[in-house]
Amino acid sequence: MKELTARFIPAVSNKVVEIMGLLNKFTFALEKIGMGFLIAGYGTMTVVALIEVLRRYFFGLSFNWSEELVRFLLIATTFIGGAVAYKKGSLVLFDVLLNRLTKKKSLILSVINHSIILIFMIFLTKLGLDYIMQPSVMLQSSPGLGLGMMIPYAFLPIGFIMIILFCIEYILTGIRDIYKEGGIAQ
């Protein structure tokens, strides 16, 4: 029995290390893609808004789609940006309790916190997907761009799914670090 576990545990932990390596690579790429989207989105928003002001001011003309495009981009970047900011740890929070605990306790607390976020985000993703699958949303198109309303709304669940993936990484790394600190029992 002892032999079995001795052989079993390294095998499992190797597997875990392998999976975590893959997950880390994946979330790293995801963060980069998200960041690229944010930069492109904000660049587009700024340029379109500027052209729009100048056109309106000097020529009295305006596109009827540009305002809507900027609005939708703001929504899309908010949820993608929220996910990237979560990954970077730059969302505003009160860290008074987290700072007062010992290192290991604060690690445990942050695993608990990320688990709560995970549950919350899974729930939101389900609501989001249900929402965009409704016929009333799927068949509706926006007045300016003529874009299906599904598309701007889809960025909500996309952002939530990104957060879920980042969450899982946070939780697994957290658990690993707790064990490094000497296990929960101590």
Q: Does 170 bind another protein (CB under 8 A)?
A: no
Side chain identity at 37, as an amino acid letter?
Answer: F
CB of 37 to another protein, least distance (A): 9
Site for another protein in 85-104 (CB under 8 A): 85-86, 88, 90-98
Residue 182, Cβ neighbours under 10 Å: how many? Answer: 9
Name the one range near another protein by CB under 8 A: 4-12, 14-22, 83-91, 176-184. 83-91
Number of residues that bind another protein (CB under 8 A): 55
CA distances from 143 to 5, 11, 53, 56, 76 (A): 64, 58, 21, 20, 18
CB of 9 to another protein, least distance (A): 32
Side chain identity at 43, as an amino acid letter?
Answer: G
Burial bucket for residue 155 (CB in 10 Å: 0-12, 13-18, 19+): buried
Site for another protein in 112-151 (CB under 8 A): 112-113, 116-117, 120, 123-124, 127-128, 130-131, 134
CB of 81 to another protein, least distance (A): 3
Residues in the chain: 186
CB of 52 to another protein, least distance (A): 8
